[in-house]
């Protein structure tokens, strides 16, 4: 890679299935100007984030003087970029389970960019291919009835209605059969491991999870039997000029807890999840599962005759497992089942106080489970995983399904964000605008460089990157228009939070947008070589765009945002309080007879803490009154106007 840069950055990457081909070349270009500190993503972006983090580990180890293999570090990542851009490679990574081949092909066809007539033909053929015996049995039975009634003439007359009835019955049975196959394969058509046995004389191609494990190990310079963990990232060797930070490399990816209806950030902190060996062996290489069992702290949990192993905590969490939990594209790739306690034997330490507060298990606290109490993410994980209770009291377990992170946060621009950052957090957004008739996107041939350059956009001024994107729905074909409307609703539910944040000042200037057309990326698993090369070139262009990024302007914009937001928040605080009372003057009318020194819940642990809180209250009130009469810092600040609010995190 040549001389190492002196600048540092964070990087966030959006999900997009095969669109992730953009990322390796973008990272390689970015690595020429920056060193990576924090890396995050969702789905395909999570794969790219994990691969980047592994390459960064290998690079740091090589810089520290360790002798690693030729595939370690960013030199190895260049090989990964070439692999992903080779025709047929991505398609081979997706290997359907036994009995799921025809359904898999249909899902890929329907989600891809094929013509409408091809999709309709694919549905017609797939139904018969999935349930052929049922189709023939129903057809034969109905034709036989016609023969019994009117002989050969009756059989011929019954042929058309028999075909329709047979097809309808086969379609119903095909859906039911596909559902059974998906359920048997952990709610997906592809597990991520090799689906079918290869003949002895044929070399079996690696499936997605197997390839990812092999790639992560090679890039980080780790042996096969010792999976790359978050601890390896956090404690990787530091560069000589590296600024102080908690971790050498910080990786975070997003998954969706479908059973809990919420997004989750990996690795888990202060959680209470368990896994079953048999289920994990169907999703992960045997060496990874065996390592997780060997590394387990404490004895396994046995409930109703089933053995549950504790999921490794933070620094021992395998990067492969986190990445696989983030990329479980619904139906296409199997979901990941974890388990949590559902019932406990009642004990005094799990009761609630008279004020309704949870009583903390002091034994668990002494064992260090309260170490993350000052971490927002840590406290959220504690709530989401059932709190702290003795595992010896568990009497029942329940399954928790985790699927693709893109369901809930496909572009987690919030990751690594800070009011005033130490270095920029770059982000790469994949978008699908309407086809431009002036650009030859549909061709499989070479596209001029100027058209590729035009497809990659990074704001060059503060007035760019904020406009709404318009997605037309109208179509001459009514079913297509209705489908476009419904998919637009789903897309809005999925992306509204990420979209609004990505347009905010201090965010929009650090996002490079890569436009992809219908034949590029998405669910197009078997793209022609010229299309693959085109996507990879766009990635390289995206990485180069960041070389001209102005961190000085970015930092100033964020300071203008922060100063205005803090002032407005403090003024609002002063308007809603009085200097001596934390309750508003009309609290008694609302049924609040409490005095200031009393607390309805969550009392301070000491008088010193209570005194500090009272002092803070008085200072905030005084400052808010002063700022209300002074200069308004929000005038001339970037739009939309910034604000501070207490919001959920994940």
Q: Among all residues, which ones are annotated catalytic?
A: 43, 404
Whole-angstrom distance, CA of residue 505 vs CA of residue 464: 10
How would you write 386-427 as a 3-class SS string? CCCCCHHHEEEEEEEEEEEHHHCCCCCCCCCCCCCCCCCEEE
**Spatial separation of the C-alpha atoms in residues 483 and 397, rounded to whole Å:** 40
SS (H, E, C) 105-131: HHHHHHHCCCCHHHHHHHHHHHHHHHC
Structure tokens at 285: 């290489």
DSSP 25-55: HHHHHHTTTEEEEEEEEETHHHHHHHHHHHH
Contact 220, 72 (CB under 8 A): yes
Longest dimension (CA), the chain: 99
Name the DSSP class of 576.
T
Q: Which residues, including other chains, have CB under 8 Å from residue 257's CB and lie 6 or more apart?
A: 263, 264, 384, 400, 401, 402
C-alpha distance from residue 273 to each of 73, 154, 226, 539 (Å): 33, 63, 22, 37
Q: How many CB atoms neighbour CB 580 within 10 A?
A: 10
What's the rounded Cα separation, in Å, for the pair 431 and 457? 11
Whose CA is closest to 208, among 284, 142, 156, 134? 284
Q: What are phi and psi of 33, to 5 degrees?
A: -115, -20
Tokens of 128: 């018969």
Round to whole Å and give the CA distance between 211 and 134. 38
Q: What is the DSSP string of 54-97?
A: HHHHHHHHHHTT----TTSHHHHHHHHHHHHTSTTHHHHH--BP
| Rounded Cα–Cα distance for residues 253 and 49 (Å) | 8
């Amino acid at each position: 890679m040549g001389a190492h840069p002196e600048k540092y950055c964070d990087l966030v990457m959006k999900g997009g299935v095969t669109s992730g081909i953009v990322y390796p070349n973008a990272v390689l270009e970015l690595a020429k100007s920056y060193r990576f500190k924090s890396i995050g993503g969702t789905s395909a972006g999570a794969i790219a984030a994990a691969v980047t983090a592994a390459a960064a580990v290998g690079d740091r180890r090589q810089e520290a003087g360790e002798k690693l293999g030729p595939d370690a570090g960013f030199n190895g990542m260049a090989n990964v970029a070439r692999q992903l851009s080779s025709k047929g490679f991505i398609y081979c990574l997706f290997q359907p389970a036994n009995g799921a081949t025809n359904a898999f092909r249909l899902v890929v066809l329907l989600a891809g960019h094929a013509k409408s007539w091809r999709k309709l033909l694919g549905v017609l053929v797939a139904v018969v291919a999935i349930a052929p015996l049922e189709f023939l049995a129903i057809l034969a039975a109905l034709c036989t009835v016609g023969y019994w009634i009117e002989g050969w003439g009756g059989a011929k007359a019954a042929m058309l209605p028999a075909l329709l009835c047979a097809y309808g019955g086969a379609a119903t049975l095909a859906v039911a059969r596909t559902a059974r196959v998906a359920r048997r394969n952990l709610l997906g058509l592809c597990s991520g491991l090799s689906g079918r046995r290869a003949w002895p004389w044929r070399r079996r191609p690696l499936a997605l999870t197997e390839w990812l494990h092999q790639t992560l190990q090679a890039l980080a310079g780790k042996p096969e039997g010792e999976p790359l963990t978050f601890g390896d990232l956090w404690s990787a060797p530091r560069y000589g000029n590296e600024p102080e930070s908690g971790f050498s490399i910080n990786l975070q990816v997003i998954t969706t807890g479908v059973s809990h209806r919420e997004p989750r950030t990996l690795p888990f902190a202060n959680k209470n999840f368990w896994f079953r060996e048999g289920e994990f062996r169907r999703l992960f290489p045997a060496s990874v599962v065996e390592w997780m069992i060997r590394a387990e702290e404490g004895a396994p949990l046995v409930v109703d005759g089933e053995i549950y192993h504790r999921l490794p905590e933070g620094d021992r969490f395998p990067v492969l497992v986190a990445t696989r939990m983030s990329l479980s594209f619904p139906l296409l790739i199997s979901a990941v089942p974890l388990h949590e306690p559902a019932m406990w034997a009642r004990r005094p330490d799990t009761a609630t106080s008279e004020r309704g507060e949870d009583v903390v298990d002091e034994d668990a606290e002494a064992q260090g489970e309260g170490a993350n109490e000052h971490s927002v993410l840590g406290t959220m994980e504690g709530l989401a995983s059932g709190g702290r209770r003795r595992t010896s009291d568990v009497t029942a377990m329940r399954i928790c399904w985790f699927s693709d992170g893109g369901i809930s946060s496909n572009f987690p621009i919030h990751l690594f964000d800070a009011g005033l950052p130490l270095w920029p957090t770059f982000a790469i957004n994949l978008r699908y605008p309407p086809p431009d008739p002036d650009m030859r996107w549909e061709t499989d041939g070479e596209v001029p460089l100027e058209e590729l350059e035009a497809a990659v956009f990074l704001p060059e001024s503060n007035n760019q990157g904020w406009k709404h994107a318009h997605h037309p729905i109208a179509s001459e074909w009514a079913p297509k228009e209705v489908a476009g409307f419904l998919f637009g609703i789903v897309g809005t539910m999925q992306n509204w939070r990420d979209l609004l944040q990505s347009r905010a000042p201090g965010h929009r200037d650090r996002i490079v947008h890569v436009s992809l057309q219908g034949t590029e990326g998405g669910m197009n698993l078997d793209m022609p070589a010229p299309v693959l090369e085109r996507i990879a070139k766009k990635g390289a262009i995206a990485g180069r765009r960041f070389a001209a990024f102005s961190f000085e302007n970015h930092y100033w914009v964020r300071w203008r945002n922060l100063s205005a937001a803090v002032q407005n928040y403090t003024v609002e605080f002063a308007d809603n309080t009085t200097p001596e009372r934390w309750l508003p003057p009309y609290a008694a009318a609302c049924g609040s007879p409490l005095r200031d020194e009393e607390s309805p819940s969550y009392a301070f642990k000491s008088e010193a803490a209570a005194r500090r809180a009272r002092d803070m209250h008085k200072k905030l009130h005084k400052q808010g009154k002063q700022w209300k009469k002074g200069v308004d810092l929000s005038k001339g600040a970037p739009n939309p106007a910034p604000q501070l609010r207490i919001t959920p995190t994940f």
